[in-house]
Amino acid sequence: MVKIYLFRLKIKNGDKMYEEIKDKTFEHKHALIFVGGIAAAMVGKKILESKTTKDYAAKGMAKVLTCKSELEESIQDIKDNAEDIHTDAKAAKKEAVCVDVTAEDE
Buried b (16+ CB within 10 A) or exposed e, 68-104: eeeeeeeeeeeeeeeeeeeeeeeeeeeeeeeeeeeee
Q: What are the boundaries of each domain within the chain?
A: 10-49, 51-106
Q: Give the closest residue to 48 by CA, choosing from 36, 32, 40.
A: 40
- pLDDT at position 104 is 58
Question: What is the tens place of the pLDDT at every residue in 35-90?
Answer: 899 999 999 999 989 999 999 999 999 999 999 999 999 999 999 999 999 999 88
State which amino acid sits at residue 46: K
- pLDDT at position 18 is 73
Query: What pTM does this model have?
Result: 0.47
Q: Give the closest residue to 6 by CA, choosing from 31, 21, 29, 14.
A: 21
> What sign for the dihedral angle of Cα 85, 91, 92, 93?
positive
